[in-house]
Amino acid sequence: MKRSYSKYSAKDNLLWLILRPWIFIPRVLYILLTFIFLFLRILFQGNSKNKNVQKNLSKYLFDVIKDLGPCFIKLGQALSTRPDLIRQDWLTELTNLQDNLPAFDHKIALKIIEEELGSPANELFEEFPDSPIASASLGQVYKAKLNNSYLAVKVQRPNLYFLIRRDVVILRFLGTFLSPLLPLNIGVGIGEIIDEFGKALFDEIDYQKEAENALKFANLFKENPNIFIPKLEKQFSSKRIITTSWIDGVKLRDRTLLEENNLIPASFIKTCVISGLQQLFEFGYFHADPHPGNMFALKGGNSDSGNLAYVDFGMMDTITNSDRLTLIKAIVHIINEEYYLLAEDFQKLGFLTKEQDLQKLVEPLKKVLGGSLSAEVGNFNLKNVTDKFSKLMYSYPFRVPSRFALIIRAVVSQEGLALRLDPEFKILKIAYPYIAKKLLTDNSEEILEILLDVVFDKKGQIQIEKVESLLNILFKDSENINSDLIPVANAGLKLFVSKKGSEVRKNLLLSLIKEEKLEFTDAKKLLALIRDTFSPLNIAKSAVQNIISTV
């Protein structure tokens, strides 16, 4: 019998559960008591230096999350990517939430396959194993064989729709009720955030939707030689079954595992972060669940950019073009230390109300984000910013817009994954050069407008120090010079002589006129900066590097 799931609706789901008090009341009491006992145990044993105590506590934490079911396992997976938030001995145990959960009965899995695909597994495939190779929160994966090739067959857990529907309602109820006691000032918005989580989970249990997501994601990265997406096998996929080509890689769990397979951890960090930035700032469509169980390191690539495979496309989300451009502007304003403009960005994105006096936020934002490009960048990561913002949120009416819930989850998970591979990793060291390169090479109208705001002030005068800062961010080491110099030079030249470059040419000419006189001082500084950056020696280095990388 084929299943059909209704779309997420907070009101309908709440009414559905309230009309079933024999389900609602015992479950709420069970969740509350479970967390009270967990809190008390952590309170009394969390600081113990006894290894056995911590081992038992980590196992207890894993069992609690596992027993609470799929919704809580999803939340636990996000925690399992954060070595800066969770003790290492606890983290090791929580990593099992990603794809090492107890499997459900194999006979039930075979029954689901026959119901969904119309034939028994042993008739559909040349070989079908007696047990799954991995088991996660929503399903378990079998390694089947067909036409001398291996396939990944993911079978959904039974009764999943009911379990998720029930627990999302309860999470929303408890979250809204307990929001005044939470450490972050996110106010009534917590219900909207849980709604976003609920919508994502409802989409994730629809494997036909996941199949569409996989095809779309593969198309976006089809020109990227470092990103691999498994091929969808439509004839063996349905609402509760999804089958793809098998990915033979190494999970991005820890650097030791990668090194044992002669893989370079840093190369995968860069590919992972750059692909994540592309999803947010270029495609506007992103993988919202990038934990180590969903990402594999592959052979090939090079020491700079490793080959990376994404799997599991159930939890995906989009970002509007307006939000995408505002985020780019916000990063530029952080680079230029323009905190009033940054406050305006927060307001436009919905983190601040329209009534908020932005001038009052300039100094607090400077304290939180100031010096991120100086020596302090070595200590700058999302955890530090989150800690500082937590304090800021008590004094100022910041709130998290619901549409950013999955974006924040994805970015935090991805940084956590990178930290597992390299504890010294700093996300801004990759994010800033990426944004700088995008501004200097993307000739779209919107990005050109942002670039003009960086190069010229409101009076049309050249801001030499900001141009220099932008180039320094991109070319501050020889590695970036070699890989990015020629593309930036080509893009800049094409822009200058194109129709789109008319604004640039006009502003350059106007910048030469000061008090009705020609003034060449800034123009000379700009030419000197361009000459030093794009010197023949640097161009030659870039050409040689490009030739080597294509061999």
| 121 vs 106: CA distance, rounded Å | 12
Query: Residue 491: what are its φ and ψ, rounded to 5°?
Result: -65, -40
With contact defined as beta carbons under 8 Å apart, do 373 and 335 qualify?
Answer: yes
Non-local CB neighbours of 196 within 8 Å, separated by 6+ positions: 402, 403, 405, 406
Is 63 known to be catalytic? no
pLDDT reported for residue 165: 93
| Amino acid residing at 383 | K
Query: Would you say residue 46 has pLDDT above 50?
Result: yes
Instruction: Give the pTM.
Output: 0.79
Tell me the two tokens of residue 537.
């020696």
pLDDT digits (tens, 9 = 90+) for 219-253: 999 999 999 999 999 999 999 999 999 999 988 87
pLDDT digits 0-9 by tens, 303-337: 778 899 999 898 898 999 999 989 888 888 877 78
Q: What mean pLDDT is predicted for residues 68-75?
A: 88
pLDDT of residue 300: 83
Out of 63-77, 175-189, 373-387, the most confident range is: 63-77
Is 60 exceeded by the pLDDT of residue 104? yes
Q: How confident is the prediction for the chain on average, in pLDDT?
A: 79
High-pLDDT (> 70) share of the chain, %: 73
β-strands 307-310, 250-251: how paired?
unpaired
Q: Average pLDDT of 499-503?
A: 62
Most confident of 47-61, 423-437, 446-460: 47-61
Q: What is the distance between the alpha carbons of residues 373 and 474, in angstroms, rounded to a whole number?
A: 12
Residue 480 structure tokens? 């970036």
CA distances from 331 to 89, 336, 430, 439 (A): 35, 9, 12, 11
Q: What tokens does 188 get?
A: 């009534």
Two tokens, residue 209: 């939707």
CA gap 237, 3 in Å, rounded: 13
Buried b (16+ CB within 10 A) or exposed e, 163-177: bbbbbbbbbbbbbee
* Calpha distance 18→165 (Å, rounded): 12
Catalytic residue among 195, 289, 312, 323: 289
Radius of gyration of the chain (CA): 26
Q: Which of 108, 178, 176 is nearest to 139 (CA)?
A: 108
pLDDT digits (tens, 9 = 90+) for 468-500: 666 666 665 444 444 555 556 565 656 555 665
Crossing angle of helices 464-474 and 428-441, in 10° steps, is 120
pLDDT bin (cut points 50, 70, 90) of residue 394 is: low
Domain segments of the chain as ranges: 251-425, 442-550
User: Of the given ranges (93-102, 169-178, 287-296, 385-394), which has the lowest mean pLDDT?
Assistant: 385-394
Contact 214, 229 (CB under 8 A): yes
The residues facing 141 across adjacent strands are: 134, 154
User: In whole angstroms, what is the distance from residue 364 CA to residue 416 CA?
Assistant: 26
DSSP state of 407: H
Does residue 189 carry a pLDDT above 90?
no
When pLDDT is averaged across residues 106-126 and rounded to a whole number, the result is 94
Q: Where residue 187 falls among pLDDT bands split at 50, 70, 90?
A: very low
201 close to 74: Cβ distance less than 8 angstroms: yes
Statement: residue 373 has pLDDT above 70: no
